[in-house]
Structure formats: structure tokens, C-alpha cells
Amino acid sequence: MAHFFTADTHFSDDSVRRFFSRPFASVEKMDAAMVERAAIVGAEDDLWIVGDFAACETDRGREAAQAAFWALSGRKHLVRGNHDPDWLVQTLPWASVHDLVEIEIMGNRFVLCHYPLVTWNGARAGTIQIFGHVHTRWRGAEGQINVGVEQWDFAPVKSDQAELAAMTMPPSRMHKKAEGLSQ
């Protein structure tokens, strides 16, 4: 069993496709590409969607979002983002739903939150913070990584890849400020 992370898929959300200049001719092509690229996730794997799975309030949009959910393999966990409406949480059979969650994978700790954090439980002890929300603007800083689809060619990222990427990010000025405040 493997763990994969992704964020900001925005299934069925044509406004996001256009606003962030996603390289797809239509929202249908975008959704199909993300489902296809998520085929790396197996039926016994955990897929952690770190917010903004779908942002759609029309009947057609809801149907497309539900179709995307069923097309994705693995146990799907949702860490709610600012574009995850109540109907989405209540209608789909998520393995789990969280606002923020701490998990352990093969002895490594991760804190998952849709939003990038200045500090988090275990930050100084090697715990990795997984986030989305900022789309193409920021990849992360030392100890934290943006798993948004724009950062990973519109595909989920395996936990060990996310961890390595987080460990090779440059230090954050905000982390240093937060450390100074806590002393």
C-alpha cells in the first residue's frame, strides 16, 4: 500500500482552468487528463486530496465531480479546502474527511492542511507539512511542499517524492520569524 498526495484538482471548474492558464482546451479535457494521470494510484493505495477537489454548484458540475471521484482509484481521503462545499463532503463516500490531519507513513510524520502553515506540530523534528491552495505561486519551503496539481504535472505525488522535495526546499523567512517569536 502506498500513499499519494494531490491538491487543487478543481474538477469541473472551468474558471480555475482559465484563470491559472491550465494547459487544457476544455474543462472536460482537464478532468480526463487528471484522472488518467492519477492511474498511478492503485486500488489498495491511499489518495490524500489536500483540498479543493471540485468547486461546482450546477447539476452538470456536480455530476462531473462525482464522475471524477468514481474514476479515481484507491481510498480517497479529503482534507477540506476553501472550495470543497458541504454537498461534496456529504454526498461522496470519502474514507475520511479532515480540516487538518497528522499521519505517519513508514515512520515518517506528515501534517496535511490545505493551507501552507508558518509552523506545525513536529516542524523542528522533521515532520513534513503537505499543502495546496496557492496553485502556481509557491512550491514550498524547507519542511513543507505544495502538492497542488500545477506543481506536479497534474498528477498525484507519492509520499516519498513529496518528502524528498520538502527536504530540498530553501529555508523560509517566515519559519525563522516564527521561531524567534516562540523563544
Q: Name the residue among 136, 137, 131, 96 with its Cα closest to residue 116.
A: 131
Query: What would the pLDDT profile of 63-121 be if each residue is shown by its tens digit?
Result: 999 999 999 999 999 999 999 999 999 999 999 999 999 999 999 999 999 999 999 99
Q: DSSP per residue over 138-182, as a string?
A: --EETTEEE-BGGGTTTS-EEHHHHHHHHHTSPPPHHHHHHHHHH
Determine how β-strand 128-131 pairs with β-strand 108-113: parallel
Query: What would the pLDDT profile of 110-158 be if each residue is shown by its tens digit?
Result: 999 999 999 999 998 999 999 999 987 789 989 999 999 999 999 999 9
For the chain, the average pLDDT equals 92
- Helix or strand run (H / E) with residue 49: strand 46-49
Domain span holding position 39:
3-182
| Number of domains the chain is built from | 1
Residue 181 pLDDT greater than 80, yes or no: no
The CA-CA-CA angle for residues 143, 147, 153, to 5°, reads 130
Q: What is the CA radius of gyration of the chain?
A: 16
Which CATH number is 173's domain given?
A: 3.60.21.10
The most distant pair of C-alpha atoms in the chain lies apart, rounded to whole Å, by: 53
Q: Name the residue among 83, 119, 86, 81 with its Cα closest to residue 99.
A: 81
Tell me the pLDDT band of 178, cut-offs 50, 70 and 90. low
Q: How far is CA 38 from CA 48, 49, 134, 143, 148, in A?
A: 12, 12, 21, 25, 13
